Amino acid sequence: MSAEAPAGQTAAVKVNPNGPTEETVLAVEHYTDRLFRFRLTRPQSFRFRSGEFVMIGLPKEDGKPLLRAYSVASPSWDEELEFYSIKVPDGPLTSRLQSIKVGDKVLLGRKPTGTLVLDALTPGKRLYMFSTGTGFAPFASLVRDPDTYERYEQVIVTHTCRDVAELTYSRNLIDSLKDDPLVGELVGGKLALYTTTTREPYPNMGRITTLIENGKLFTDLGVPPLDPSTDRAMMCGSMEMIQDTKALMIKAGLTEGSNAAPAEFVIEKAFAG
Ligand code: A2P
């Protein structure tokens, strides 16, 4: 019973059954002044497919929720939820979200959705996941899902960022999978992470679009060029990155799929502000 409610009466609490739930921050890790990840409690009723996104936010000063779309970075079997976020200094949400601490509350939407799911692709042999910046988030979910390895013989994740520090999240995560109790044995020999930078010296440099076009990606990985009979692809990054990568998939003969009509590649814009 709340302190405001007189004995014998129930406090009138306005709960919107479709509105966001309030979740508790369990962990926060900052990588650079532009990037961080956080983990939240997961309500039992929250179901999603690995690769989907959901609305995340904080209450505004007027009490109304301020929400933005975020890919869930944890897999569907995880008891907690993980998110990987950019920090935009004057971004309405991320300027505040970046200072959350363990124990704080974050709003979580109730309806996860999205096209970067295994079910939106037709069966194939090799799965590519092309990402830039925070576009790696949905793939952080999918590489931890055993279903990914049951469906594909080979899984290739590419991550391109401006500088080396921005690759920390993907490199640490993929590295840790070797010891993962659920997928540790599945990833061996099947999963490859291909990282590149564009603005800071690194052994492997260049935009992913350039590396697909000039064939360096395939030579480096020792795989044949893109082939619609064997290859499937997912892309997540800025609008421009998606458009440019999509054009290369179409040029290679792959067709775009969706939940309603699965095909050979699917796209999603990364959360940006
Ligand atoms: P670049 O440094 O050449 O702009 P951001 O942090 O701005 O989201 O960028 C993340 C990465 O995506 C950067 O390495 C950036 O390269 C790259 N990128 C930006 N636009 C495109 C594009 N149209 N196609 C492929 N990669 C891109």
CA distance 24 to 41: 5
Domain 13-108 grouped into CATH 2.40.30.10: yes
Buried b (16+ CB within 10 A) or exposed e, 180-194: beebeebbeebbbbb
Encoding tokens for residue 94? 């991320």
212: three-class secondary structure by DSSP:
helix
Q: What global pTM score does this model have?
A: 0.93
CB 101 within 8 A of CB 58: no
- Burial status of residue 18 (CB atoms within 10 A of its CB: 0-12, 13-18, 19 or more): exposed
Is any ligand 1 atom within 6 A of the Cβ of residue 243?
Answer: no
For residue 51, which of 125, 143, 146, 177 has the smallest C-alpha distance? Answer: 143
Atom of ligand 1 nearest to the CA of 243: 23
* Residue 161 CA, ligand 1 centroid: distance in Å: 7
Domain 118-267 has CATH 3.40.50.280: no
| Ligand 1, atom nearest to 272 Cα | 8
Q: Which helix (H) or strand (E) holds 248?
A: helix 239-251
What are the pLDDT tens digits along the chain (273 aa)? 344 444 444 545 556 788 999 999 999 999 999 999 999 999 999 999 999 999 999 998 888 899 999 999 999 999 999 999 999 989 999 999 999 999 999 999 999 999 999 999 999 999 999 999 999 999 999 999 999 999 999 999 999 999 999 999 999 999 999 999 889 999 988 999 999 999 999 999 999 999 999 999 999 999 999 999 999 999 999 999 999 999 999 999 999 999 999 999 999 998 755
Which of 241, 242, 245, 249 maximizes ligand 1 atoms within 8 Å of its Cβ, making it the mutation to test the pocket? 241
- Cβ 207 under 6 angstroms from ligand 1: yes
CB neighbour list of residue 139: distance below 8 Å, 6 or more residues apart = 51, 116, 129, 131, 157, 159, 234, 236
Helix/strand/coil (H, E, C) string of 130-163? Answer: EEEHHHHHHHHHHCCCHHHHHHCCEEEEEEEECC
Where do the structural domains in the chain lie, given as residue ranges? Answer: 13-108, 118-267
In ligand 1, which atom is closest to the CA atom of 237?
8
Q: Which atom of ligand 1 is nearest to the CA of 210?
A: 25
Tell me if 132 CB under 6 Å of ligand 1: yes
